[in-house]
Structure 1
Amino acid sequence: MWILGLTGSIGMGKSATAGLFGAEGVPVHDADAAVHDLYAREAVPLVEAAFPGVARDGMIDRPELSRRVLGDAAAMKRLEAIVHPLVRARETAFLARARASG
């Protein structure tokens, strides 16, 4: 099985390229989508504990969280320490499913 990673800055076409692969039937793991889903599910209590007041209606208020972490390197590191392992776990599960399906 081949594994291809798409990286780049904002607006570089990663999502468009991933969409082309997906349209051809290639399994695609979208880390950005995983974060959005995590912010509505299992990351909520963890992020709220680290940044009280960022959870609203059972999900992370992304603009409020951004306000708290952008420009604050220590806060960003705390957030990344919470979110990155969760995203990695989802990626690992995605790869296991892709390998199992051939």
Structure 2
Amino acid sequence: MSSREGSRICVRLESWGLIKREKILCDGRWTYRIKSTRKPPSIGSILGAPCITCAQAGSMCASGNEISPENCDTLEKWILTSQVGGEVAGESKAQVDLGKEA
């Protein structure tokens, strides 16, 4: 790939908001440092998921089987009670605070 092709690709990615170009001087020549605008995925979003420790997850649990994510009560309960942005999913902050006081 030529530098012209690379530059055009970078301009396109920047216009889509996927990267940010920062003009820098390196060894007496102007160039661009390219940085991603997306954050890498966090493992925090799946910490505590019951599937990680479920004995049936590896061999028996699959979409369309008798045991599947679509009909797993444990997974459903975890999703409904997991923390999302500091709040319990499906509840407002006021409901969460009231639940703690009771």
Q: TM-score, normalised by structure 2?
A: 0.30
Q: Which structure's relative contact order is higher, taking Cα pairs within 8 Å and 6+ residues apart?
A: 1
Structure having the higher strand fraction is 2
Structure whose alpha-carbon radius of gyration is higher: 2
Structure having the higher helix fraction is 1
